[in-house]
């Protein structure tokens, strides 16, 4: 009966989860192509003593006439980089620096929301998520855009945990807000009116594919069947993903169209638009450090999956989602950032990691019910380390020429050292 009781808790509580599974030139994705280089120490801005170049104008001299109305004046708006989408970009699970099985105290120093008052440990998630903890958006202080070092005036996070593609669309296009907020495209419109937006990064589609239901099903199958006769989830869930994929990808494409419509209405066609994919929080079954039999994967590791299901998620599901997102990006002419291997050897329960903080820490949040530590919706997301790693990827992407890239971690290095390669 112990296993069935646990499964019931997981089904009821984890169902609340919303789990989906420096400076470069502007260009691809911003509308009409071309580009505007972000300011650097080697690029001088227009002056009042240099005429704009034309096909007949001689090189500038001290007698050249001042700029005319054919030269666009520099904008006085502050610059911004903005992220939109779901929990994988909002910063969900940013509360945690690694995992710790014991729920008491400061959880081995991993809980950034823990503090001590009058000798008693207390927990306040708003210390990490701010006022978005109460509305469920969970925008953490270590979300990728906030931890990036991009040289703009403002880094803006409009993403919200649990978002589906409809939450991106403008209200006038049938979009729906979350947590008392306007749809994300409408929030982008307000930002574009006051800022010169340099780059927009979008993460969406995972919730349209029902990633949280996949995790729930796989967890229940593990905890309600013996190792000598396991009930696995991959067959049924693969069929579900295949059936949902066309509509989900159509929604992603429509979300990109909505973003472009907003920026065109703001008179801005000179920005970079990037669609990013999802990393795998779980390793292959052969790389899980806890035995497939017994209860350690459930009660200690927080990775209650059969080997075959873990391997399917890592080597089939995540690459399938990434490949389909890449196809949408190519069809829409936007940049693509592949994060599918970003957590390689840093995943939850990997033989290469351990509980706690530090160089061997896991970069993903293990699965919890929300009854003993943290919130269920934080499960199976990049944690503070993983979010910081994605911020480093964003730095590298911004400094690179527009295009498609893959970003991976570097063996033996922390989240501040990542590798970006053409993808």
Degrees (nearest 5) of the Cα angle 288, 139, 340?
Answer: 35
The answer to whether residue 42 sits within a structural domain is: no
The answer to whether residue 247 sits within a structural domain is: yes
The answer to whether residue 21 sits within a structural domain is: yes
Tokens of 83: 């992220």
The answer to whether residue 327 sits within a structural domain is: yes
The Cβ of residue 137 has, within 10 Å, a number of other Cβ atoms equal to 28
**Phi/psi class of residue 88: alpha, beta or left (left: φ > 0; alpha: ψ in -120 to 50)?**
alpha
CB-count exposure of residue 17 (10 Å: 0-12, 13-18, 19+): buried
Beta strands per DSSP E along 86-187: 114-117, 120-123, 154-157
Strand, helix or coil for residue 343: coil
The answer to whether residue 83 sits within a structural domain is: yes
State which residues form the domain around 224: 2-33+76-100+129-422
- Report the CATH number that the domain containing residue 80 is assigned in CATH: 3.40.50.1110
The answer to whether residue 400 sits within a structural domain is: yes
- pTM for the complete prediction? 0.84
The answer to whether residue 280 sits within a structural domain is: yes
Q: Name beta bridge partners: 199.
A: 81, 272
Degrees (nearest 5) of the Cα angle 381, 415, 95?
Answer: 40
Decide if 266 contacts 82 (C-beta within 8 A): no
DSSP 223-257: HTS-TTSPPPSHHHHHHHHHHHHHHHHHHHHHHHH
In whole angstroms, give the CA distance from residue 336 to residue 333.
9
C-alpha closest to that of 139 among 124, 123, 161:
161
The answer to whether residue 7 sits within a structural domain is: yes
pLDDT tens track, the chain, 423 positions: 333 333 333 333 333 444 443 334 455 455 443 333 333 333 333 333 333 443 333 344 333 444 433 334 556 899 999 999 999 999 999 999 999 999 999 999 999 999 999 999 999 999 999 999 999 999 999 999 999 989 999 999 999 999 999 999 999 999 999 999 999 999 999 999 999 999 999 999 999 999 999 999 999 999 999 999 999 999 999 999 999 999 999 999 999 999 999 999 999 989 999 999 999 999 999 999 999 999 999 999 999 999 999 999 999 999 999 999 999 999 999 999 999 999 999 999 999 999 999 999 999 999 999 889 999 999 999 999 999 999 999 999 999 999 999 999 999 999 999 999 998
Number of domains in the chain: 1
């Amino acid at each position: 009966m112990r296993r069935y009781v646990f499964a019931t808790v997981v089904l009821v509580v984890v169902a609340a989860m919303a789990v989906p599974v420096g400076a470069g030139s502007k260009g691809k994705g911003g509308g009409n192509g071309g580009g505007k280089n972000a300011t650097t120490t080697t690029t001088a801005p227009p002056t009042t003593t240099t005429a704009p170049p034309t096909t007949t104008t001689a090189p500038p001299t001290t007698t050249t006439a001042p700029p005319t109305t054919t030269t666009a004046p520099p904008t006085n708006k502050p610059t911004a980089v903005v992220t939109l989408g779901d929990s994988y970009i909002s910063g969900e699970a940013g509360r945690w620096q690694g995992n710790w099985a014991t729920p008491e105290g400061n959880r081995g120093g991993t809980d950034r929301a823990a503090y001590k008052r009058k000798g008693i440990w207390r927990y306040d998630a708003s210390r990490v998520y701010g006022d978005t903890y109460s509305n469920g958006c969970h925008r953490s202080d270590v979300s990728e855009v906030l931890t990036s070092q991009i040289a703009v005036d403002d880094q803006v996070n409009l993403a919200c945990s649990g978002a589906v593609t409809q939450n991106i669309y403008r209200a006038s296009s049938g979009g729906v807000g979350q947590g008392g907020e306007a749809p994300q495209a409408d929030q982008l419109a307000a930002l574009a009116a006051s800022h010169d937006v340099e780059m927009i990064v979008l993460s969406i589609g995972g919730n349209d594919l029902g990633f949280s239901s996949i995790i729930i099903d796989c967890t229940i199958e593990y905890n309600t069947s013996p190792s000598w006769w396991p009930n696995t989830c991959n067959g049924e869930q693969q069929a579900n993903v295949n059936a949902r994929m066309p509509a989900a990808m159509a929604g992603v494409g429509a979300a990109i169209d909505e973003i472009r419509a907003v920026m065109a209405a703001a008179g801005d066609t000179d920005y970079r638009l990037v669609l990013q994919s999802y990393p795998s929080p779980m390793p292959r079954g052969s790389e899980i450090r806890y035995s497939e039999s017994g209860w350690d994967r459930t009660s200690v590791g927080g990775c209650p999956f059969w080997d075959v299901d873990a391997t399917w998620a890592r080597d089939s599901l995540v690459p399938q989602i990434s490949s389909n997102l890449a196809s949408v990006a190519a069809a829409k002419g936007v940049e693509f950032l592949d994060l599918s291997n970003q957590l390689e050897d840093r995943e939850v329960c990997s033989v290469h990691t351990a509980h706690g903080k530090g160089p061997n820490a896991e970069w993903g949040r293990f699965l919890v019910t929300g009854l003993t530590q943290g919130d269920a919706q934080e499960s199976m997301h990049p944690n503070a380390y993983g979010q910081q790693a994605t911020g480093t990827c964003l730095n590298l992407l911004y400094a690179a020429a527009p295009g498609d890239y893959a970003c991976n971690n570097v063996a033996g290095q922390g989240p501040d050292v990542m590798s970006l390669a053409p993808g």
